[in-house]
């Protein structure tokens, strides 16, 4: 299978890449951080020699970056089997006090990246009448919380995009799944002082996405809510 993953240099994206590399799939990765992306690529190529893995840095918060990455994938004559829209950014704050421009930055990274990339890859997927699109939303897509501010607003918007896309793609053979993870131990929580056992692991989200690809063509999981066993942090 051809797996396209955004935000693949760390966190969920890197864990998802590892999970799909194990069976020897073909991976197409991007991240805006060039150094971290190529470090991740080197690690993946070393650890999973049976997989075919390519990566290029793009800033998907910019439309030209999302379009550029999508066209790069298409230029390699790739038929996308799985698209994971994982690129994202978290900046804490409140609507009342966060800095001017934070909402625009959150919307550009957390919503527009998925919207523009999906639109580039969709025509070929529709023509093939198959494929899976996974949007990494958040618990913050479902419920407002203290210090969520623009981040939560942008993730609500991503959930809306997922639901609209699901309805549009139903008759076209393309599955759309929105995943709503709670607190997971990634870079944003390092140094928090909270015990790691209190969190989910990035691998939990990766394993869940991989499981979606094992379903029959006639089955789709529309929404997945994942939380730490003890609940939200």
76 secondary structure, DSSP code? T
Tell me the DSSP string of 202-229: HHHHHHHHHHHTTS-TT----EEEE--T
Cα(20)–Cα(171) distance, rounded to whole angstroms? 27
**Helix-helix angle 11-21:202-212, to 10 degrees:** 50
CB atoms within 10 A of CB 99: 10
Which of 187, 189, 228, 188 lies closest to 205, judged by CA?
Answer: 228
**Residues taking part in catalysis:** 151
State the Rg of the chain over Cα: 17
């Amino acid at each position: 299978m051809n797996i396209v993953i955004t935000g693949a240099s760390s966190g969920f994206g890197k864990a998802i890449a590892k999970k799909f590399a194990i069976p020897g799939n073909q991976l197409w990765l991007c991240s805006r951080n060039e150094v971290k992306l190529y470090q991740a690529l080197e690690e993946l190529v070393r650890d999973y020699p049976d997989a075919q893995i390519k990566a290029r840095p793009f800033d998907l918060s910019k439309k030209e970056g999302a379009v550029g990455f999508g066209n790069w994938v298409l230029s390699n004559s790739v038929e996308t089997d799985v698209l994971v829209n994982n690129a994202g950014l978290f900046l804490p704050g409140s609507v009342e006090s966060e800095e001017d421009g934070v909402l625009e930055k959150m919307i550009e990274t957390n919503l527009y990246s998925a919207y523009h990339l999906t639109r580039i890859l969709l025509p070929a997927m529709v023509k093939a009448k198959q494929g899976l699109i996974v949007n990494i939303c958040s618990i913050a897509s479902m419920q407002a919380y203290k210090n969520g501010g623009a981040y939560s607003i942008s993730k609500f918007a991503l959930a809306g995009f997922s639901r609209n896309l699901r309805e549009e793609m139903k008759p076209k053979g393309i599955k759309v799944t929105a995943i709503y993870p709670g607190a997971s131990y990634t870079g944003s929580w390092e140094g928090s002082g909270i015990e790691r056992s209190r969190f989910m692991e990035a691998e939990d989200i990766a394993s869940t996405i991989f499981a979606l690809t094992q379903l029959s063509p006639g089955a789709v999981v529309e929404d997945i809510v994942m939380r730490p066993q003890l609940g939200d942090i």
